[in-house]
Amino acid sequence: MPASPVFAFNPQDVLRFLPEIILTVMGTLLMVLDPLIHKRSSNAFGHISLLALAAALGASVYAYSIGGPAFGGMLMVDGFATFFRVLVIVVGILTILPSYRFLARQNAETSEYHALLLFSIAGQSLMAASNDLIMVFIGLEISSIASYILAGYLRDDKRCNESALKYFLLGSFATAFFLYGVAIVYGLTGSVNLLTIRRAVLHQAAGDPIFLAVAAALMFVGLAFKVSAAPFQIWAPDVYQGAPTPVSAFLSAGPKAAAFAIFLRIFVTAFSPIGNRWEPLVWTCALASMCIGNFAALLQTNIKRMLAYSSIAHAGYVLVALTARSDTGTAAAMFYLASYAFMNVGAFSAVTVLTGKGERYQSIDDFKGLGRKQPLTAALFSIFLLSLIGVPLTGGFFGKFYVFKAALDSHLYWLTVLGLLNSAVAAYYYLRILVVMYFQEPGEATNAAEPLSPGLRLALLVPALGTLFLGIFPTWVLEFAGKSSAIVK
Amino acid sequence: MNLLTLVLALPLAAFLGALCLPRSSSGRTSRVWALVSSLAIFATSLGLLAWFDRTAAGEQFLLDVPWIGTPNIHFAISVNGVSLWLVLLSTFLTPLCVLISWNSIKDRCKEFYAFLLLLEFGLVGVFLAQDLFLFYVFWEVCLVPMYFLIGIWGHDRRIYAAVKFFLYTMAGSVLMLAAIIYIYNKTATFSYPAILEMLANGRLTFPAGEQMLLFLAFFIAFAIKVPLFPLHTWLPDAHVEAPAAGSIMLAGVMLKMGTYGILHFCLPLFPSAARACAPWIGVLAIIGIIYGSLVALVQPNLKKLVAYTSVAHLGFVVLGIFSFTQPGLDGAVYQMLNHGVSTGALFLFVGIMYERRHSLEIADYGGVATVAPWLSTAFLVTTLASIGLPTLNNFVGEFLVLQGTAIANFTWTVWASLGVILSACYMLWMYQRVFYGVAGPEVRGHIPDLNVREWAAILPLIVMMVWMGVYSQSFLPPVGKITASILEQTNVNVPYRVSLPTKPPKAPPAAPQPTEVADAR
């Protein structure tokens, strides 16, 4: 049994925990302020949450400068944690930008939307920094419960309700799996601290290896659900389709990034000694996600559903990087998630521009002639789509490039070839959107589309610049990811 | 910052400039912008020719700037005796494309010319890149503008053609990406000259099986682009549906990305695999020549006919490359340029005819010669060039290719010569049906002769056809230096070539042959 850590209060611990504190406090504040702020100036909620996120962003960077373990090793503020904290906070900012116009359009401007978003981000940020299975679980729950409600935010909408219910039922089921795994691991090693578990596994002091494998598999199932990897992807299309579009954007990037952070932490840290046991599992999952995601997306007519399947496929690409089980693989996964966050949130924001009141226009055909009616929206949407295809000079291309490079480094030849062929298949359904936007004449939806509001313009421009930046000058982000991936152990 | 950087950067700058034109500006503004900038780019690239050292072999105007730290990617560009001509071909054809689109493109002018300039940027980049990663980037960058050019401004089935074009090329090139990454993992560099040096001094070898797979990964990507039979099916669709300028760039330059890639990358990197596959590829090339010619013979559609002649002509290029002889390689390169000029001109004429008569069916024409004599004359010169009449450009290229294949494998020559005969059949028959006979009322009423703008687009091409046919010495010497060094490189790192007993006795006579040819010319 490891000696129980001494919990002495250390002011630095609080500073390392500052981003989560800011987000929670501001979220609560928003709820309190709700009655005080007049409905007319409802943009104020958005401004306050942007402010909170900006402050949290600053706090994360500050926490990195005084990095180290906090609260007796329950949290670990290192480069890896900071990377994902910054990532989920940026996703939050990118979600709020299109939300202004979206909420106004649905007459649903309330503080709870923003408060829930902040709570969810706080949970994800906690996940990114946790180094202890209990903290992981708490973060996961904070993040998930807030996102269940967000998915059903438009409560008069049937699809929205279906989305929330489905997400909640399947999500809690998956969390239970995860928790079961945690319980077994605790039983085997007597600890929930990842580093202690790793030591125990390494010295084969973790009891029966079969039980350990079962525990790893259970946790894998829970996390695979959260990242919507096949065969646990069933919920994603319904949830993304039903949820309010900015929330779909958020769900497809934020919780996924945080879940992958945990995935990497647990499997690359604690379970890395039994890596050759779980590698086939992840290998299969990666391939299945890519194939199911891409081939199912070919058949979709609803754009949100199509993007949902595409996000399943992209989870598959990240799993390829995980299968590589190397530092380059971890760095590739981190880089991929960053570029994926930009391009996918951007794509959903572009969808937000068009959906209209009550989200009437969701069909791919509704984008007919957008290139003629709203050249800027169409051009920026094209950048996101080309990035999702993986055309050079976009972040998506470099992400794929690093992922498959890491896979080849680890001699995963078949997975690489199949994955690359998959990405050629994927080109087809992304091109379909380009086809309707540019090669067809405007239809009802594009004619009815309102002009681009400043918030939406920003919501498209920022991720587009991010995508291009990661595609042309990836060095900076990649070097940071590479540096942090080595720290994980 | 040397001249080469300028040649590469100007199209990008022109593209961004075109994007920045205000939306309210008329189509004329963007046309003039595109014409002026593309002429400026051409002038700059002529400077490249002036300062190019024709006596030296190897890469010139080297520029090597680190781009990304890990993995080690450099922005490395340079030009050699082969890529110089291909760059010039791209910059030469772009202003002609602008001229030919002057009246036919009315919708979304700004975007059209912007994409044309972006395409030029990508094409120039492909021929200049000396870093495998950079090469791949440019390779894919070319895809996007061409996709939009076909999809937005094409004919009826444009969407199908555009998507097919994109997917075919994409599917081929992802495997090339895998091969590029594999080579990087083995050598820790993307720099092409560095990899060649490692191969030359034996620090890097590809074992037979591995070499074969890598060769195929590269070759399939290139073969799709060429296109080599049976991977050619995207080409007729893309050519027919593309607007005139798109067809010209596609046939004139984009197809050469494939043959250039084979010549520049496949042969030096994987010589033994290339030699091992040569018999198969040669047969495919010959099938392409004959099949392309036969299909062209029965085409009722003018543009499709010209598209299939491309399949046949590019078959010659591939055949020349895989003959592994000096005249064969020289001829292949020369044929790439010839095809760019003469087929570019053919597509240009087809565009002019379509603009007048709004039909691509051969049956809708007839007797054009009586109403538009100058158009017919110019078309005849181009037709004869395409057939390979002596004193016009294609003759030189085809002759060299056939000579090269005769050294390597005489049976190939016999079969390939059939293609030359067939080309006369389909071209002349087409010419007869379109230009001779009695002019119908539509033809009489709708087909005026060439105007000044069209002359300006056509005359340079005809001058080039004659010049390249009469005095090939102004083009071939730099090419010969590069092809000679490529041939030399194919002799490096060939572990199992010795096991082919029939080749070595034939090889010695191959050596003096080229010099005789050079004298004969």
Distance CA A121, CA A117 (A): 6
Distance CA A354, CA A477 (A): 32
In this prediction, residue A193 carries a pLDDT of 86
CA distances from B97 to B84, B92, B225, B247 (A): 20, 9, 21, 9
Place of tokens 């039903």: A242
CA distances from A211 to A165, A185, A202, A207, A465 (A): 33, 8, 15, 8, 48
> What is the SS3 string spanning A233-285?
CCHHHHHHHHCCHHHHHHHHHHHHHHHHHHHHHHHHHHCHHHHHHHHHHHHHH
> What is the SS3 string spanning B370-434?
HHCHHHHHHHHHHHHHHHCCCCCHHHHHHHHHHHHHHHHCHHHHHHHHHHHHHHHHHHHHHHHHH
At residue B367, does pLDDT exceed 90? no
- Is it true that the peptide bond before B441 is cis, omega within 30 degrees of 0? no
Place of tokens 């400026």: B40
Buried b (16+ CB within 10 A) or exposed e, B92-124: bbbbbbbbbbbeebeebbbbbbbbbbbbbbbbb
Least confident of A199-208, A326-335, B372-381, B452-461: A199-208
In a domain, A4, yes or no: no
Nearest residue on chain A to B165, judged by CA atoms? A428
Which tens digit of pLDDT belongs to each residue from B196-220? 888 888 788 888 888 899 999 999 9
In this prediction, residue B109 carries a pLDDT of 81
In this prediction, residue B520 carries a pLDDT of 42
Which tens digit of pLDDT belongs to each residue from B428-442? 998 988 888 887 787
Q: Is B493 left (phi over 0), alpha (psi -120 to 50) or beta?
A: left
Which tens digit of pLDDT belongs to each residue from A23-66? 999 999 988 888 787 665 668 888 889 999 999 999 999 988 88
Q: Which pTM value belongs to this model?
A: 0.88
Do A128 and A258 meet the contact criterion of CB atoms below 8 Å apart? yes
CB burial class (10 A; 0-12, 13-18, 19+) of residue B500? Answer: exposed
Q: What residues of B are in contact with residue A383 (Cβ under 8 Å)?
A: none
In this prediction, residue B521 carries a pLDDT of 40
Question: Which of A380, A402, A408 best tests the B interface by mutation, with the highest count of B CBs <10 A?
Answer: A408
Nearest residue on chain A to B180, judged by CA atoms? A405
Contact A438 B152 (CB under 8 A): yes
In a domain, A1, yes or no: no
Distance CA A451, CA A272 (A): 52
In a domain, A3, yes or no: no
Beta bridge partners of residue A132, listed in sequence order: A193
Domain boundaries, chain B: 270-521
A454 and chain B: CB distance < 8 Å anywhere? no
> What is the SS3 string spanning B303-350?
HHHHHHHHHHHHHHHHHHHCCCCHHHHHHHHHHHHHHHHHHHHHHHHH
- Helix, strand counts (H, E) of chain B: 24, 2
Distance CA A264, CA A322 (A): 7
In a domain, A381, yes or no: yes
Contact A408 B181 (CB under 8 A): yes
Beta bridge partners of residue A363, listed in sequence order: A302
> What is the SS3 string spanning B104-120?
CCCCCHHHHHHHHHHHH
Do B72 and B188 meet the contact criterion of CB atoms below 8 Å apart? yes
Which tens digit of pLDDT belongs to each residue from A192-250? 888 888 888 888 766 677 888 888 889 999 999 988 888 888 889 999 988 889 999 99
Q: Which among B68, B171, B174 has the least Cβ separation from residue A474?
A: B68
In a domain, A2, yes or no: no
> What angle, 0 to 180 degrees and rounded to 10, lies between the N-to-C axes of helices B302-321 and B234-241?
130
Identify the domain containing residue A338 by its residue range: 11-487
Count up the domains in chain A and report the number. 1
Distance CA B425, CA B427 (A): 6
At residue A293, does pLDDT exceed 50? yes
A478 and chain B: CB distance < 8 Å anywhere? yes
Half-sphere exposure of A179 (CA within 13 A, CB side): 11
**How many residues appear in chain A?**
489
Q: Which among A409, A427, A474 has the least Cβ separation from residue B166?
A: A427
Sign of the Cα pseudo-torsion (A11, A13, A15, A21, in order): negative
Element spanning B247, H or E: helix B244-249
Higher pLDDT pick, B96 / B107: B96
Q: What residues of A are in contact with residue B143 (Cβ under 8 Å)?
A: 391
Least confident of A208-217, A406-415, B195-204, B503-512: B503-512
Q: What residues of B are in contact with residue A479 (Cβ under 8 Å)?
A: 69-70
Q: Work out the angle at residue B242's Cα, subtended by the Cα atoms of residues B12 and B36, and round it to the nearest 5 degrees.
A: 35
Contact A392 B136 (CB under 8 A): yes
- The CA distance from B159 to the nearest CA of chain A, in Å, is 7
Sign of the Cα pseudo-torsion (A417, A420, A422, A424, in order): negative
A61 and chain B: CB distance < 8 Å anywhere? no
- The CA distance from B364 to the nearest CA of chain A, in Å, is 28
Which tens digit of pLDDT belongs to each residue from A101-140? 888 888 777 888 899 999 999 999 999 988 889 999 999 9
Question: Which of A330, A401, A409 best tests the B interface by mutation, with the highest count of B CBs <10 A?
Answer: A401
Query: Which amino acid is residue A31, in one-letter code?
Result: M
Query: Which amino acid is residue B228, in one-letter code?
Result: L
A168 and chain B: CB distance < 8 Å anywhere? no
Contact A478 B70 (CB under 8 A): yes
Q: Which among B71, B137, B178 has the least Cβ separation from residue A393?
A: B137
At residue A318, does pLDDT exceed 90? yes
Q: What residues of B are in contact with residue A482 (Cβ under 8 Å)?
A: 70
Distance CA A89, CA A78 (A): 16
Contact B181 A392 (CB under 8 A): no
Contact A409 B185 (CB under 8 A): yes
Distance CA A134, CA A192 (A): 7
A375 and chain B: CB distance < 8 Å anywhere? yes
Calculate the CA dihedral of residues A240, A241, A245, A250 and round it to 10 degrees: 0
Element spanning B62, H or E: strand B60-68
Do B322 and B274 meet the contact criterion of CB atoms below 8 Å apart? yes
Q: Which among A401, A408, A432 has the least Cβ separation from residue B182?
A: A408
Q: What residues of A are in contact with residue B162 (Cβ under 8 Å)?
A: 435, 439
In this prediction, residue A463 carries a pLDDT of 92
| Cβ neighbours of residue A257 closer than 8 Å, sequence gap 6 or more | A84, A87, A88, A91, A124, A337, A341
- The CA distance from B258 to the nearest CA of chain A, in Å, is 19
Distance CA B39, CA B37 (A): 5
At residue B26, does pLDDT exceed 60? yes
Distance CA B414, CA A138 (A): 78
Q: What residues of A are in contact with residue B242 (Cβ under 8 Å)?
A: none
ipTM rounded to 2 decimals: 0.86
Q: Which among B159, B170, B184 has the least Cβ separation from residue A435?
A: B159
In a domain, A182, yes or no: yes
CA distances from B44 to B40, B80, B99, B180, B478 (A): 6, 17, 19, 32, 19
Question: Which of B111, B181, B183, B216 best tests the A interface by mutation, with the highest count of A CBs <10 A?
Answer: B181
Average pLDDT over residues B126-147: 90
Average pLDDT over residues A10-26: 88
Distance CA B496, CA B277 (A): 13
Distance CA A317, CA A333 (A): 8
Distance CA A53, CA A37 (A): 20
Do B107 and B122 meet the contact criterion of CB atoms below 8 Å apart? no
